[in-house]
Amino acid sequence: MRLGIVGLVLLFVAAQSAFAGTLDTVRNDKMLKVAYRTDVPPFSSAGGAVPTGFSIDLCRMIADRLAKQLGVPSIKVEFVEVTVKDRLQAIVDGRAHIECGATTVTLSRMEKVDFSVLFYITGTSLMTRADSPVRVLGDLDGRKLAVTQATTTQRVMAEKLAERRAKTEVVTVASNRVGLRLLLEKKVDAMAGDQAILLGLGMASGKQNDLRLSGELLSVEQLAFPLPRNDADFRLAVNRALSDIYLSGDVGRTWTRWFEPFGVKPTSLLLELYRLNSFVEK
């Protein structure tokens, strides 16, 4: 079968589209689609018309630096709300180019998405009511614990409780907000989550005097931004932007904005993380 000139042109255009990467899409649309969750303050939460948080600020900075890399006047940020369940699928399906929340890097997740360089490090901990006798994991025997489904916290707590053979009733909840509500209503004795997220939830609730955060870390959680899998050009552009954010000190300024009001100081491990994930151009 012979193709005419029009047919050949259409085939060429289709082939170009098939091989067009995320970076080309961002350049052509002048838009970065950012997935966000509403229940992980101080990283990402609903803030009226647009989401707010530490991760959101970083992704806005990434968009600004992508504009410079691509040689366009600006890159608009379009926010796409996701849940803990569909955050990675939103990247896989192309509904978003990057997820800006508090997602832990795991090897199984790397089967679905790629990740940027690390932007935070935290760990699984417990939050209880201030008047509760529960202070550490060992106090949960015979009590109820809220854990958000589809999180690394769910796996960590299952492993830790099994190790101790604790008779703890695990209440699986759809979101961190639900877990916090159950805790405040005394329907569970504690909730588990990333320590930084638990801190943000407590402060955002306005009930911080009624809550207590355990100093016990049950895991180490390395956070990064999920990206489309096997898209090296886009991943490089995002990492180039993050390196500049770290080297310029902008990460410290936005960190101060979101964490210092809680009386939190950056750990030496976190500071070293930014040094280790800062890369020079040559």
Number of domains in the chain: 2
Asked if residue 2 is part of any domain, the answer here is no
Tell whether 194 and 246 lie within a shared domain.
no
Is there a single domain that holds both residue 146 and residue 117? no
- Tell me which of 217 and 74 has the higher pLDDT: 74
Number of H helices, E strands in the chain: 10, 12
Q: What is the pLDDT of residue 264?
A: 81
Residue 141 lies in a domain: yes
- 9-63 confidence digits (pLDDT tens): 444 444 343 346 999 999 999 999 999 999 999 999 987 789 999 999 999 999 9
Can you give the residue range of the structural domain that contains 237?
Answer: 19-122+221-276
Please report whether residue 281 resides in a domain: no
Q: Which of the four pLDDT bands, split at 50, 70 and 90, describes residue 6?
A: low
Q: What is the average per-residue pLDDT within 110-126? A: 96
- Per-residue pLDDT of 67-82, as tens digits, reads 999 999 999 999 999 9
Identify whether residues 249 and 270 lie together within a single domain: yes
Q: CA triplet 168, 170, 171: central angle to 5 degrees?
A: 140
Same domain, 164 and 52: no
Task: Evaluate whether residue 233 is within a structural domain.
Answer: yes
Angle between helices 232-248 and 22-29 (to 10 degrees): 70
At 86-102, the pLDDT tens digits run: 999 999 999 999 999 99
Domain boundary among 164, 184, 213: 213
- Residue finishing a domain among 164, 183, 213: 213
- Name the H helices within 33-73: 54-70
117 with 143, same domain: the answer is no
What does the pLDDT read at residue 265?
85
131 shares its domain with 269: no
Co-location of 34 and 83 in the same domain: yes
Q: What pLDDT sits at residue 5?
A: 56
* Residue 282: inside a domain: no
- One domain, residues 113 and 228: yes
Q: What is the mean pLDDT of residues 148-164?
A: 95
Burial of residue 215 (CB within 10 Å: 0-12, 13-18, 19+) is: exposed
User: What pLDDT score was predicted for residue 222?
Assistant: 95
Question: Cα–Cα distance between 261 and 181 in angstroms, integer?
Answer: 23
Give the range among 11-15, 256-260, 274-278 with minimum mean pLDDT.
Answer: 11-15
Say if residue 30 is in the same domain as residue 110. Answer: yes
25 and 69, same domain (yes or no): yes
State whether 177 and 227 are in the same domain.
no
- The type of residue at 157 is M
Calculate mean pLDDT across residues 134-158: 95
**117 shares its domain with 136:** no
Write down which residue in 168, 186, 213 finishes a domain.
213
Q: What is the mean pLDDT of the chain?
A: 91
Q: How confident is the model at residue 161 (pLDDT cuts 50, 70, 90)?
A: very high
Is 11 within a domain?
no
Average of per-residue pLDDT across 201-207 = 90
**Is the confidence at residue 7, as pLDDT, over 70?**
no
CATH code, 206:
3.40.190.10
Q: Is residue 145 part of a domain?
A: yes
